[in-house]
Amino acid sequence: MERVEHRASFGGWQDVYEHRSATLDSTVRFAVYLPPQAEHAKLPVLYWLSGLTCNEQNFITKAGAQRYAAEHGVIIVAPDTSPRGDDVADAEGYDLGKGAGFYVDATQQPWAAHYRMYDYVVHELPALIEANFPVSDARAISGHSMGGHGALVIALKNPGRYRSVSAFSPIVAPSQVPWGEKAFGAYLGDDRNAWKAYDATALVADAAERLPLLIDQGDTDEFLDGQLRPQLLQAACEAAGHPITLRLQPGYDHSYYFIASFIGEHVAHHARALKA
């Protein structure tokens, strides 16, 4: 593991590391924000999953989360969105291949060799963080768009691993929208029953843990009706008796201007759960 960026921020350090991932069979990067409290104590961790076309840089440079992480004493870890490298399969367009891992473990060729972002985020990355940084065993998870999908799915599939979960503009029903259908068809094959393992609207019905879902969604988001459709998850949660808070924010779109406007509330939400 090699540190490739080290920048002072709100009394702490915004770092970026590079390492060879056994899970992804490629060299990948992740960002870690260490607030000033990390010099003297083990702190809880908030994992952030980014959306389509992003890498570890988008969140750390645009969201403004460091200020709130320093205020609450929370470490934030932000991995890349897919494996990288010349030998990693890719596709034309922004919604499949590099930058579009969709936080699944691919079963189809040529994707299966490297595209295992679910396993990486759930197992390899936390093990690396917990072995090398001053962290406690308290974890939370959040994300945006494709990353919001990842955060919801990972929390629902791993009861007891996370103390809280939230999302901005998540793809809540990837099995029912074009982005998800394209990605799942490529990564997981044509069997739509297999897709349900990575679809939040399907997972809430049998969730072993009723971890409350906090979702912020801009009501002028250009992808709201065609790709995101949060009402589908709300209906699934109501049918299953699963707690959900869906906040439609008037005037906001899909951009990081939206995320930056509410990230402080999300960090505070996670800090309360992490320190409870």
User: What CA–CA distance (Å, rounded) separates 158 from 198?
Assistant: 12
Catalytic, out of 21, 26, 50, 145: 145
Respond yes or no: is residue 86 known to be catalytic: no
Q: pTM above 0.95?
A: yes
Sign of the alpha-carbon dihedral angle for 59, 64, 70, 74: negative
Respond yes or no: is residue 25 known to be catalytic: no
State which H helix or E strand residue 138 sits in.
strand 135-143
Catalytic, out of 72, 144, 242, 254: 254
- Token pair 């009723």 in the structure block, residue: 210
What's the CATH code of the domain at 71?
A: 3.40.50.1820
Per residue in 194-221, pLDDT (tens digit) is 999 999 999 999 999 999 999 999 999 9
What was the pLDDT predicted at 68? 98
Respond yes or no: is residue 269 known to be catalytic: no
Catalytic, out of 95, 221, 269, 270: 221
- Token pair 């924010």 in the structure block, residue: 249
In contact, 117 and 82? CB cutoff 8 Å: yes
10-46 in b/e burial notation, b at 16+ Cβ within 10 A?
bebbbbbbeeebebbebebbbbbbbbebbeeeebbbb
At 158, the amino acid letter reads: N
- Which residue segment(s) compose the domain that 117 sits in? 2-275
Which segments of the chain have a pLDDT < 50? none
How is residue 159 written in tokens?
A: 């009861």
Beta carbons within 8 Å of 251's beta carbon, 6+ residues apart: 218, 219, 220
Q: How many domains does one find in the chain?
A: 1
What was the pLDDT predicted at 243? 97
Question: What φ, ψ does residue 165 adopt, rounded to 5°?
Answer: -145, 145
